[in-house]
């Protein structure tokens, strides 16, 4: 995959006409904010499709970082990775949910195989400031998590196929694992959005 293709992924995969209807936020006594939101199919790898029935994603935010647990259902077994897409200051975005704005960071969250049960549970944490050991496929103007309590976060669930040999755990570590020339069987299959401090133009849907 070329650099152009990588940038295309980070920008267009966000071009979703999102309406995050299943979202609840609360704040505990220690000032850590908890949010539960919906998980959506992305039928073409870019646009938002129907919600995944019974699926949800939890976010826990504090001044030290963000943790997430995604409980979802997939249509086929195989290797899956989860990716953080970070906009530290969504209130400065010029388009709905930062769709055409430059992300600050796109980095692998986690990855592992999903069996025939079709149930996927993926947990990850992103700390403030780094350094980060996971693969970074895009670094923008503020290439770190610097606003954990207010950043807009998109999670991208990516499928890498079932051919885990040779390669093994490498299929869970990189964006292109199992993807000859960035083609089949790899695809971005589901999306999650946590809006953070999205305001102004960030909250105005496209006409």
Tell me whether the omega of the peptide bond preceding residue 131 falls within 30 degrees of 0, making it cis.
Answer: yes
Q: Look at residue 42 in the predicted model and tell me its pLDDT.
A: 82
Continuous segment of H or E residues that includes residue 60: strand 56-62
Q: Which of 8-12, 40-44, 99-103 has the lowest mean pLDDT?
A: 8-12
- Token pair 């954990």 is at which residue? 148
Q: What is the pLDDT of residue 150?
A: 98
pLDDT at 115 over 50: yes
Residue 57 is inside which H or E element, if any?
Answer: strand 56-62
Smallest CA-to-CA distance from 78 within 181, 179, 182 is with 179
Looking at per-residue pLDDT, the higher value among 189 and 178 belongs to 189
**106 pLDDT higher than 90:** yes
Whole-angstrom distance, CA of residue 193 vs CA of residue 134: 21
**3-state class (DSSP) for residue 179:** coil
Confidence of residue 37 (pLDDT cuts 50, 70, 90): very high
pLDDT at position 207 is: 76
Q: pLDDT band at 202, cuts 50/70/90?
A: very high
Q: How deeply is 134 buried, as exposed, middle or buried, from its count of CB atoms within 10 A (0-12, 13-18, 19+)?
A: middle
> Phi then psi for 183, rounded to 5 degrees?
-115, -160
- For 102, 143, 164, 193, 202, the CA distances from 99, given in Å and listed in that order, are 8, 18, 33, 11, 8
Closest CA to 152 of 206, 111, 95: 95
pLDDT digits 0-9 by tens, 53-77: 999 999 999 999 999 999 999 999 9
Highest mean pLDDT among 39-43, 139-143, 178-182: 139-143
How far apart CA 91 and CA 196 sit, in angstroms, is 9
User: How would you label 55-89 residue by residue, b for 16+ Cβ within 10 Å and e otherwise?
Assistant: bbbbbbbeeeebbbebbbebeeebbbbbbbbbbbb
Q: What percent of the chain has pLDDT over 90?
A: 58
Range with lowest mean pLDDT among 53-57, 78-82, 178-182: 178-182
3-state secondary structure of 152: strand
Q: What is the mean pLDDT of residues 64-92?
A: 96
Lowest mean pLDDT among 39-43, 72-76, 89-93: 39-43
Residue 18 has pLDDT above 50, yes or no: no
């Amino acid at each position: 995959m070329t650099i152009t293709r990588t940038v295309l992924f980070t920008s267009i995969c966000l071009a979703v006409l999102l309406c995050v209807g299943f979202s609840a936020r609360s704040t505990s006594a220690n000032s850590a904010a908890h949010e539960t939101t919906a998980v959506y199919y992305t039928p073409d790898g870019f646009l938002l499709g129907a919600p995944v029935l019974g699926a949800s994603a939890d976010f826990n935010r504090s001044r030290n970082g963000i943790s997430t647990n995604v409980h979802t259902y997939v249509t086929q077994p195989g290797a899956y990775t989860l990716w953080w897409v970070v906009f530290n200051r969504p209130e400065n975005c010029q388009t709905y949910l930062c769709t055409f704005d430059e992300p600050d960071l796109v980095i692998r969250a986690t990855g592992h195989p999903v069996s025939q049960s079709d149930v996927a549970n993926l947990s990850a944490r992103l700390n403030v400031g780094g350094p980060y050991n996971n693969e970074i496929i895009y670094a923008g103007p503020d290439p770190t998590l610097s606003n954990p309590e207010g950043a807009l976060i998109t999670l991208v669930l990516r499928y890498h196929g079932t051919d885990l040999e040779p390669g093994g755990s490498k299929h869970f570590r990189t964006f292109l694992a199992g993807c000859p020339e960035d083609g089949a069987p790899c695809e971005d299959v589901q999306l999650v959005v946590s809006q953070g401090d999205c305001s102004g133009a960030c909250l105005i849907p496209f006409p």
